[in-house]
Amino acid sequence: MKLLSQTIKDLEKLSGQLPERIGSDRLDTLNQLAHWIARQPTTHPANVMIICTHNSRRSHLGQIWLQAAAWHCNLAHVQTWSGGTEGTAFYPSAVDALRSQGVDIIASDDSANPIYRVQLQTAHSPFETMSTRYSHPKNPQHGFAAVMVCEEANEACPVVEGAAARFGLPYIDPKVSDGTPEENQVYQQRSLEIGAEMFYAMMKVRELRTSLRSTE
């Protein structure tokens, strides 16, 4: 877990730099996501589903880093999920990027679309992720926040069935580097980019909830 701890420190630092590094519209979207989560009662799960077209790269990176950020910020009621407008498989280079950054992630078998076990903290049980449609029975069916991380899924799903809120946070697909010498570097960079924004959102939730408690 030492490597993951260092990555989390790096993501915290990067998240603090976001207001100067990203556009105001994108920052507003992250703040809106944080406000939605902060308003959810802690008596039951606040479900957030990260959605892209194939549920193979960006959505998994978003799910795992958002869960890591939530637990790091002691937001135990936040549960994260991922889905696609179709299911394919968790792309190996995305898995490798997470492993290189300290995430304990293990495939359950060698099938074309394996279930992966993800362990982020010893204080929390591991959870499973695999490539599925967002409407798959394993995912929450209603009351969740849908975070759309690619334009294709955003356009293909003008309505996300069951979602209580919807946020558009598109990222450039690291797939553009597949088969090139830069592939590993691009996947690691995209993982950190997504991770920094997920940490920003969860740290904002923690700040908002602290403010709410102080006024009660």
Query: How, if at all, do strands 46-52 and 78-84 pair?
Result: parallel
The rounded radius of gyration (Å) of the Cα atoms in the chain is 16
Distance, in Å, from the CA atom of 183 to the CA atom of 94, rounded to the nearest integer, reads: 10
pLDDT of residue 120: 96
* pLDDT single digits (tens) 164-204: 999 999 999 999 999 999 999 999 999 999 999 999 999 99
CATH superfamily, with its number, for domain 2-205: Response regulator (3.40.50.2300)
* Residue scoring higher pLDDT (78 or 150): 78
Is the distance from CB of 175 to CB of 185 less than 8 angstroms? no
Domain-wise residue ranges, the chain? 2-205
Identify the CA nearest to 56 among candidates 141, 126, 125, 152. Answer: 152
Task: Assign 154 a pLDDT band (cuts: 50, 70, 90).
Answer: confident
Is the distance from CB of 21 to CB of 203 less than 8 angstroms? no
Query: Which three-class secondary structure state does DSSP give residue 133?
Result: strand
Task: Tell me the torsion sign for CA atoms 174, 179, 182, 187.
Answer: positive
The pTM assigned to this predicted structure is: 0.96
